[in-house]
Structure 1
Amino acid sequence: MPTCPAPVRPLDDAAAAELTALAAKLLADHNAATSPELLAALPGTCAQLSDTVRHALRPVDTADGLFVLRGLHVDDTELGPTPGHWSSVGDAGALWDVVLLLVSTSMGTPIAWDGQQDGRFVHNIVPSPGHESEQTGASSDVLLTPHTEDAFHPGRAHLLLLCCLRNHDDIATTAASIRRTALGQADVERLKRPVVPILPDDAYEEAQRFAGRPAPVPTLFAAPEGLTMRFDPAYTPLDEADAEWREAYRRLQDELARVSVAVSLEPGDVLVVDNDVVVHGRVPFTARYDGTDRWLKRASVRVGGRPTRPAAERGEHGYGQAALTAWPA
């Protein structure tokens, strides 16, 4: 497989075995990865992890805004065929749901959405017939435009985690950090202005029917450690903005494209993305729908006390979407 052009944090065999053994015990104790009792047990279980594992599971801490956790091992035969839709996954790959939840809990608080994938805390990302050209994780034929996850919502995740279960075709996830760009200061100041809204994407059908008026939001923010962003051009009505703002936005897109890296995940890899700093996407591919297609698990994480977003976001309606937390705050 090609070398991954992203920082890699290796887990040795002992650390990988420790993490998967704890996940297997949790699953055996609670029968299902979706069990409320299992979710409630996550913090206590994470406290049992060794210092070595917890150090490897610290949040992103470089300007790259991402890293690949490598060293976990997925048995392709034991996994079974790639499902044709997230709703038909059932308990397939449930151990990896729990592994991903443990990694997520080590970094913050896992969140879910009442309007996406039945409120699950771990989503399954698989190509699905009839969705090939959408701007969602179920697509395949088109470039998944680089974006920050759930940019339409003020309660979006601080961290996005993608666990690779299968990727026989080396399909790359793309990623680009705002802190690697060289955008001019005039453009930065222009994009800090709230000019146009970001609308809910096609994974949120209920949110797309929300009756409230969309409010404009800034694209860039100044945070103590550097610029952060909120970015989803596929769901941003750019034609509502003035010409100078659109030009600044286009230059931001060009800069993000210039610094973009392609990350081809191996089975067992967990890609951790700082959702305030990095846009992610996916290159096009042709889905076979024969049980061997790319299969990722996705989790979203909030990190308490992070000064990366403007206070004005707290007044947004979020298009009626409620974020769910894995345990009471």
Structure 2
Amino acid sequence: MSQELPVALRRTLVDFRLSGDGGLLLAGLPIVDADLGASPPVMSAPPRNGELARADAMLLLIASFLGYPVSQAGVDDGHLVRHVSPLPGHENTQLGSSSAGELMWHNEDAYHPLRPDWICLLCLRNPDGTATSFARIDDIPIDDSTRSLLARPLFRIEPDSSNTASSTAAEPPAVAVLTGDPSRPFVRLDPAFMFRASGGGDEAAAALEEVIKAVDQRLQDVSVAPGEILIIDNLRAVHGRRPFSARYDGHDRWLRIVNVAADLRRSEGFRTGDHGRAVVAEIELDTR
């Protein structure tokens, strides 16, 4: 079905997928607000058809052109398409359901060895124009000595409270912040849940602090409007969210999110579900 998308859209998605540019904003998708129903958590469950189902179908079609939509069995019951909306009691947490506190920038599921390659965020509502913060690792100046330290497995990343079922390790494995081609590295950062490994030493701690400060200084704000999809290259860019005041009246900020894997073979033997697309909860693998 994704091959039947308009040629111009397919060309744009292919160019983005191959370029590793970090982020892409698609606009103009038809969303009829009046037919969506109430934003969660007022709505107890997504409708089985109607406007939300149509929006999800558009999101999945576009995500499928990048790779393979996947989910985690231990996160949100393994739903392939998930809500991102404010939840009472989560206002100042480091969860996607927060609001009053800033959601600190991060790589999605940075702790996980099978973290997604792309994140697709479809905006259904954004009444206050709340910005998504974004930065590409290619735009972050890192000196050679710091880069060398960040390329070594000297750091650990813990899962947040919504993802604790996705790892059975007593202690997170030591990982590198930068991997792959040194001239265009992949990045793995989640400052709110990240610390240097016990053997890393003060130099590793200083290198981590330096790259975090550098990203802070180069964050961009992207206000995603209804009918727009923000696609983030999760291996080359970080994202977060600026604070806003939740209403809890059924008209709050509301996104739908899909994680996309470039290659299902990396998770061979660790998937479950009807089509083998969900990543199992218990997994201990070497990091890439």
Q: Which moved more, 1:249-258 or 1:162-171?
A: 249-258
**What is the aligned partner in structure 1 of residue 24 from structure 2?**
67
Deviation at 1:62, TM superposition (A): 4.7
* Offset from partner CA, 1:49-69 (integer Å, 9 cap, x none): 343332133244556410101
**What is the aligned partner in structure 1 of residue 228 from structure 2?**
269
Cα 1:248–1:288 shift into 2, 3 Å = same
Alignment of 1:156-171 (within 5 A): 156-171=115-130
In the aligned structure 2, how far is the partner of 1:100 from the partner of 1:232? 26
**What is the aligned partner in structure 2 of residue 198 from structure 1?**
157
In the aligned structure 1, how far is the partner of 2:189 from the partner of 2:223? 23
In the aligned structure 1, how far is the partner of 2:9 from the partner of 2:225? 20
Alignment of 1:4-83 (within 5 A): 45-58=1-14, 59-62=16-19, 64-83=21-40
Query: TM-score with structure 1 length normalisation?
Result: 0.76
* Offset from partner CA, 1:90-126 (integer Å, 9 cap, x none): 4471211111110010110111110111111111100
Identity %: 34
CA contact (8 A) 2:119 2:259 kept: yes
Query: TM-score with structure 2 length normalisation?
Result: 0.86
CA contact (8 A) 1:150 1:200 kept: yes
**What is the aligned partner in structure 1 of residue 184 from structure 2?**
226
Give the counterpart letter for 2:192 in structure 1. A
1:105 aligns with 2:61: no
Cα 1:86–1:112 shift into 2, 3 Å = farther
1:187 to 146, 171, 177: 146
Give the counterpart letter for 2:67 in structure 1. G
Give the counterpart letter for 1:131 in structure 2. H
- Secondary structure, counterpart of 1:237 in structure 2: strand
**What is the aligned partner in structure 1 of residue 174 from structure 2?**
216
1:302 aligns with 2:261: yes
* Offset from partner CA, 1:238-292 (integer Å, 9 cap, x none): 4854221111111111211222110001101000100001000000111010111
Q: Which moved more, 1:173-182 or 1:217-226?
A: 217-226
Count of residues in correspondence between the two structures: 271
- Secondary structure, counterpart of 1:279 in structure 2: strand
Unaligned runs of 5+ in 1: 1-44, 307-313, 316-321
Give the counterpart letter for 1:271 in structure 2. L
Cα 1:85–1:77 shift into 2, 3 Å = closer
**What is the aligned partner in structure 1 of residue 282 from structure 2?**
none
**What is the aligned partner in structure 2 of residue 144 from structure 1?**
103
Give the counterpart letter for 2:4 in structure 1. Q
CA contact (8 A) 1:60 1:272 kept: no
In the aligned structure 2, how far is the partner of 1:323 from the partner of 1:294? 32
Give the counterpart letter for 2:121 in structure 1. L
Unaligned runs of 5+ in 2: 278-288
Q: Which moved more, 1:128-137 or 1:58-67?
A: 58-67
In the aligned structure 2, how far is the partner of 1:61 from the partner of 1:175? 20
- Secondary structure, counterpart of 1:197 in structure 2: strand
RMSD: 2.5
